[in-house]
Structure 1
């Protein structure tokens, strides 16, 4: 991929990360116009480090109600990815955590993989004494969410994957090709580098950190069979200008009962949404559309019975 295009992607990513950290409310139409209002950030009811699988995983807990776990994207952390979303998930216990090597969760020599991160999230739920929870993952966090439902199905009540993939070729080919060409230099001076350094990490290790995080997407992973066998109801969300192929999302949705006329056969327990005018990075700014759909999915009774007239 052209290096100028890659540089633009990284620039958009870091600008979006900075804006997401400060935004707390978006306009009702769900557009990305600058109509946010500012307020004091929420304070967690609980926070700390959980000893899981050889790492000390940082987490925060907000609110009360049915638990939902939010899993961030690559190079992100709690404030960068979720500061503007946590206040919108009302009447829920919102659990946010920072994955291996991200934010306040220090890296180890352990391989960086979706499977390992899913096991860490499983361990965190046990640490918090939560038997099961709804799980929402964005981008890299979507891959972790898939693995949570595959490896620890008893802990996942409902699954929401936002702009994530269950196979390496779920990305558009040019996007997949870009992962191997990104470098730390592209993140120089960005909010991502600033956050990395602010948490006490060694600046000389930043290039290795970027390379390690990208390594998870350089493997030819394919969980198609396992993903299609996930028992939990699934809500798969992508943008129409996302990095995820439409066919990738539709294939899984059909395997989960989609692709039929609901008036004749009843609604499937799983759902699919393709948001218009929405990019991969811009997805996190579409809260006006995304959050109501997520809460409706979580609160629905998922009755498959077709309507009667």
Structure 2
């Protein structure tokens, strides 16, 4: 048992370092003149930004571009610039891109409310009402994938198509060592990282950071399984994981099969949902794959769901 705990702690430390390296790289590449990260993209500035009063929160959001809307939901501990800087300029070329910072993250201050995938999904629904958007595409990464799954379950009428990057719909969807490692994360492991620097600079109380870490981790310490509900989602789904991700291959395949996959498309037609396993890509590495992922995402969002497979 001691050996297992030691491995888990080491694994968490590696994840924190990886997040820090990705975050620092994103910050260095940013062409924004804002030193606090209030502009998410290296190439574009938000057409609109502000706070939406939803469910007792003042939820910070930004809007880029124009066209069909897509909402991006970040991962644990992340902010708009740390998670989405490479994605926003590519998606905003022909879409209205809406990004928000979830409870306690970035410029959205925490409130005395337990953090949960369900409550964050309701917050996203409230943001859409604030922006007067009836229906949207939704893209969630990691923790944001869990939020997106719950949004699809709880607010199906507000959803057009769903994209999940490295997200799980059950606690055992993670590799066992990754799942075991959640309980060992501590605030000390974030010292000196871009995640901690952004937390300190964007409005939250630096003294509250240890409680913030515990609160974010808490949502993955309780077993959850939304398999039945998720398999009944009617919106088309595109799920992508890295080939060395924290999410198990079988977890993604199980959902894809339930959505019509697992058959030869030339014989049976194309399913309305899609699956991708991105080569040479870790869990954190998914945030570096915008150049690969965005063409796949836009092709899925723009696809004709009634199209037939090509023939010779």
Question: TM tier, shorter chain?
Answer: over 0.9
Aligned residues: 296
CA contact (8 A) 2:109 2:203 kept: no
Corresponding residue for residue 300 of structure 2: 297
2:19 to 1, 10, 13: 13
Q: Is 2:140–2:148's contact at 8 Å kept on the other side of the alignment?
A: yes
2:10 alignment partner, one of 4, 8, 23: 4
**Residue matched to 1:66:** 68
Alignment of 1:219 with 2:222, yes or no, is yes
The 2-side partners of 1:40 and 1:79 are apart by: 9
Is the partner of 1:201 in helix, strand or coil? coil
1:83-124 Cα deviation digits (max 9, x unpaired): 121001120000000000000000011110000000000000
Would you say the 8 A contact 1:142–1:161 is kept in 2?
Answer: yes
For the 8 Å contact 2:104–2:204, the answer to whether it is kept is no
Match of 1:136 in 2: 139
Where do 5+ consecutive residues of structure 2 fail to align? 32-40
Partner of 2:282: 279
The answer to whether the 8 Å contact 2:12/2:182 transfers is: no
Q: Distance in 1 between matches of 2:266 and 2:246?
A: 32
RMSD across aligned positions (CA): 1.5
SS at match of 1:48: strand
> 2:98: which partner in 1?
95
Match of 2:85 in 1: 83
Whole-Å separation in 2 of the counterparts to 1:137 and 1:273: 15
Instruction: State the partner residue of 1:56.
Output: 58
TM-score normalised according to structure 2 size? 0.92
How far off its partner does 1:307 sit? Answer: 4.6
Instruction: Sort the Cα spacing of 1:24 and 1:260 in 2 relative to 1 into closer, same or farther, 3 A.
Output: farther
Q: Provide the C-alpha distance between the structure 2 equivalents of 1:233 and 1:24, rounded to a whole number of angstroms.
A: 33
CA distance in 1, matches of 2:309, 2:207: 60
Task: Spell out the pairing of 1:131-170 with structure 2 (5 A cutoff).
Answer: 131-170=134-173
**1:249-301 alpha-carbon deviations (Å, 9 max, x no partner):** 00000000000110011000000000111000001111221111001001111
Q: What's the CA shift string for 1:21-78, capped at 9, x where partnerless?
A: 44479xxxxxxxxxxxxx9542111110000001000000000000000000000011
Indicate whether 1:244 and 2:250 are aligned: no
Are 2:224 and 1:233 aligned? no
User: How far has the Cα of 1:196 moved from its partner?
Assistant: 0.7
Change (3 A) 1:40 1:241: closer
- Equivalent position of 1:207 in the other structure: 210
TM-score by length of 1: 0.92
Q: Displacement of 1:219 after TM fit?
A: 1.1
